[in-house]
Structure 1
Amino acid sequence: MEGATYSQRTVEEVFKDFKGRRAGMIKALTSDVESFYQQCDPDKENLCLYGLPNETWEVNLPAEEVPPELPEPALGINFARDGMQEKDWLSLVAVHSDAWLLAVAFYFGARFAFDKNDRKKLFHMINELPTIFEVVTGTAKKQPKEKSAATTPNSSSKSKSSSKTQQPKPSDSQLKASKMQMPKEDEESGEEEEDEQGLTLCGACGENYANDEFWICCDICERWFHGKCVKITPARAEHIKQYKCPACSNKRARV
């Protein structure tokens, strides 16, 4: 998968490599799930899911050289595709993907002679991100503070500030408000809301919520997504009565 030689890298560079590969694999298992599902044909040979440093992914055969230049992902994920429920299969691939990412990161750590402090720093940086499994299954957003709906992005209009306390499934009149991004600062939100904003994670990339980004909520699985991750603009969201994320749309299409 990679070249034969590597120049010395810092902890930050290895973490950047980790984040790029992780983002690619998350795309395969969420926004690109239909393409990923089709490429994992059980009639083909043993296939692996690779995350690439440039935030893309590919399904390919394992490396031919022994031992391989990098640790290899789980082999034969395509064989289990039709023998399991899709949700369970994707969760299984996600677990193996998490294990592979850690293996690659600490392979680099050993190769570049990271000491105890460097390894600890690398693990801490990795551990601050939700796992791929958490992103795919939707458990990443289930953090301790769940006493209000203030953790989710809301309308940019102050006149719709009441949507901050709406139930997970909004009414039709609230739907558009729930699809709009949260303002940078609401006069009634208070410090508590600011503390909880970071708990909201994108269902596609797994990154935290930021005040200046447009988000949209899936009306089926109730997960939030960056508009850019699911290719939805604020203008387009205004005309959507019921939004279905790529994963939910693909599941219904195959039923």
Structure 2
Amino acid sequence: MEALSRSVEEIFEDFQGRRAGIIKALTTDVEDFYSQCDPEKENLCLYGFPNEQWEVNLPVEEVPPELPEPVLGINFARDGMLEKDWLSLVAVHSDTWLLALAFYFGARFGFDKTDRKRLFGMINELPTIFEVVTGEAKKQVKEKSSVSNNSGNKSKSNSQAASETQGRQSKALQTKDEDEELEEQDNDEHGDTLCGACGENYGTDEFWICCDICEKWFHGNV
């Protein structure tokens, strides 16, 4: 077996094509797919191809097969289950097959730890076939959107609250500064005042009285 070099992006592109084909079989082409899975026939498999096409067919006769094979006998369970449950079962096995195939190619083409991690990360960004078929993918998108909106509203609310708090603090500081400034001015004014009797300066802890006739300040007796 000749191991030709292929990149992570090429393997991921192969994965995407096969995945799209299987999703088509289980959704838009579901009536055709259902009719082809006749329980009276032999073991059937659902194949997805890189060109986004699908096919219901017998497994390859080669043992062991060159490539990982999809699950056998999907047609046998068709009439024994609800259609949606049967489609979900096929979807789960198809997810497993695609992952096995992708990492088979990774091993064949010599992917190292970093390459395998990149490949898995790219695959993991996509909803699984099971999530698409069961509607979980749409549900997750809605939940993610709702969480994002709630986070945005919460952030906006927190910012507004912080702004209001900051505004109240600034106003309180401004009022405090104004009071201190007025007090200082008052102290300065009285500090320059001399007693009309003894000629000493005004003291902040002293009691003074003002004469209404001459408008001079004098030390008072408490």
Q: Does TM, normalized by the shorter one, top 0.5? A: yes
User: Does residue 57 in structure 1 map to residue 54 in structure 2?
Assistant: yes
Letter in 1 for 2:27: T
CA displacement 1:157-179 (0-9 Å, x = unmatched): xxxxxxxxxxxxxxxxxxxxxxx
Q: Distance in 1 between matches of 2:7 and 2:72?
A: 30
2:116 aligns with 119
Tell me which residue corresponds to 1:76: 73
Distance apart, 1:147 and its partner CA: 3.9
| 1:80 Cα deviation from its structure 2 partner | 0.2
Work out which structure has the larger RCO, using CA pairs closer than 8 Å and 6 or more positions apart in sequence. Answer: 1
Give the TM-score taking structure 2 as reference length: 0.64
Match of 2:4 in 1: 7
Q: One-letter code of the match for 1:42?
A: P
Aligned residue in 2 for 1:47: 44
* Partner SS, residue 63 of structure 1: coil
CA-to-aligned-CA distance 1:190-210 (integer Å, 9 cap, x gap): x99xxxxxxxxxxxxxxxxxx
Q: 1:70 to 1:11 in 2, by over 3 A?
A: same
Question: How many residues were matched structurally?
Answer: 148
| Partner Cα separation in structure 1 for residue 127 and residue 95 of structure 2 | 10
- The root-mean-square deviation of aligned C-alpha atoms, in Å, is 1.8
* 2:26 is the alignment partner of 1:29: yes
Q: What is the one-letter code of the residue matched to 1:101?
A: L
1:212-251 to structure 2, matched below 5 A, reads none
- CA gap 1:58/1:5 in 2 versus in 1, 3 angstroms: farther
Q: Please, which moves more after superposition, 58-67 or 6-15?
A: 6-15
Output aligned runs, 1:182-197, within 5 Å.
none
Residue 105 of structure 1, aligned match among 102, 107, 110: 102
Q: How does 1:142-181 map to 2 (within 5 A)?
A: 142-143=139-140, 144-145=143-144, 147=146
**Cα distance change on mapping 1:114 and 1:41 into 2, 3 Å:** same
Between the aligned partners of 2:61 and 2:144, the Cα distance in structure 1 is 48
Question: Does residue 1:132 correspond to 2:132, yes or no?
Answer: no
Gaps of 5+ in 1: 151-190, 193-255
Partners of 2:22 and 2:46 within 8 A in 1: yes
- The 3-state SS of whatever aligns with 1:59 is strand
For 1:27 and 1:6, the matched residues in 2 are separated by 31
- Listed as ranges, the gaps of 5+ residues in structure 2 are 154-222
**Cα separation, 1, equivalents of 2:76 and 2:16:** 28
Residue 11 of structure 1: how far off its partner (Å): 0.3
Q: Which has the larger radius of gyration?
A: 2
| Equivalent residue number for residue 248 of structure 1 | none
